[in-house]
Amino acid sequence: MATGSSSGYTPLLLRIDAGGWVLLLVLIAAGIGVPYANQMLPQESPWHVPTWLVALLGKYLCFALLALSVDLVWGFCGILSLGHGAFFALGGYAMGMHLMRQIGDRGVYGNPDLPDFMVFLNWDSLPWYWYGFDQFWFAMLMVMLVPGMLAFVFGWFAFRSRVTGVYLSIITQAMTYALLLAFFRNDMGFGGNNGLTDFKDILGFSLQADATRCALFAASAVALGVGYLLCRFIVTSKAGRVLVAVRDAESRTRFLGYRVEHYKLFVFTVSAVLAGIAGALYVPQVGIINPGEFSPANSIEIVVWVAVGGRGTLYGAALGGVLVNYGKTYFTAAMPELWLFLLGGLFIAVTLLLPRGIVGTLQLWGGVLRRRFSSGDRKRGSHGAVAPAPAGGGE
């Protein structure tokens, strides 16, 4: 039987670089430590993590997974998508529809079948596209299927038509803006501009309970870890090398016989599914989903996260998602009128001063230092070497 080395197959764990291991170890520590500090330590303890902070950190992890999905297509395939906020929002709406169905007769109007906003708008019956969302498994299937199908159909037409570059970015933004306008309509059956909110529980557990918040945080950490491993598996595979070739020289790759549109369609669809999962985990932790999540500005902001963290590194994108959103949390409270200017200035500064992002720049500096040290060692070795004696003993 051929071994893994003789067949050329490398196990996934051996493909993870140092930064990836740091990310996974941090996620394991946080996924265990944060719930423990919230549930087991007394509130008087300096190590106690309050519930509001657990929810905030869980939201950051969802944004990190969303940034990871964008880095998969932009950093490794060169597809600058300005519409990933739409996939995120669709996953969130699928989860929100399930949570609304779980309210039952506990709503304001006490209708066991219709959500409150439908009763308010005088709807007579539940729309057909709400059927099945009372089942958790069906809702989770829709969380992945709806964003994935939209990405597949959109990508099928766009990539077969060889739409690339800024033109592709524009039509992805147009897609999310069209969805924004559609979901704002009351007659669409998704709550209009108010969206879906007032959720009660998930899987029978109260969303206001501390233990539920901790479980959602842990689920977000697991999802980010699994998402990273999936992306790492893709980009280190043979298909991943083709994706990088498409990013760097699409025409040459096509001339070599590769069906470029198939590779782009595959990675675009996988990325959309990851974004949908991030949206589904985001909604129960923040307690609302509305059409504002479809805003084109949100999709542009995701690209900023990836650029700040480091495009084409995966874990750098996750880091950027956490750091930028932490800055947003701080500055929107300290200087709310200046936040958008700070975000724009941050993107300009990173583009001019750190074009590789934080992680990419650190990798570049680390490589330079290693080369300098290795060249210095070679020079010292050559100076200390003893010259060989001439042939014949020198007589």
pLDDT tens string 43-74 = 999 999 999 999 999 999 999 999 999 999 99
How distant, in Å, are the alpha carbons of 46, 117, 185, 260, 291 from that of 126? 49, 11, 17, 43, 20
Beta pairing, strands 205-206 & 196-197 = unpaired
Nearest CA to 52 among 285, 324, 329? Answer: 285
Q: Are 359 and 318 in contact (CB under 8 A)?
A: no
Question: Would you tell me how many other CB atoms lie within 10 Å of the CB of residue 64?
Answer: 29
Look up residue 52 and give its two tokens: 């509001």
What is the pTM assigned to this prediction?
0.90
How confident is the model at residue 263, as a pLDDT? 95
In this structure, which amino acid lies at residue 139?
A
How confident is the model at residue 9, as a pLDDT? 61
How confident is the model at residue 360, as a pLDDT? 84
Q: Collect the ranges in the chain with pLDDT lower than 70.
A: 1-10, 12-14, 375-395
How confident is the model at residue 16, as a pLDDT? 79
Q: Phi and psi for 199 in degrees, rounded to 5? A: -70, 145
Look up residue 190 and give its two tokens: 């998704």
How confident is the model at residue 331, as a pLDDT? 85
How confident is the model at residue 341, as a pLDDT? 85
Question: Would you tell me how many other CB atoms lie within 10 Å of the CB of residue 88?
Answer: 33
Residue recorded with tokens 């990933």: 84
Look up residue 286 and give its two tokens: 């923040």
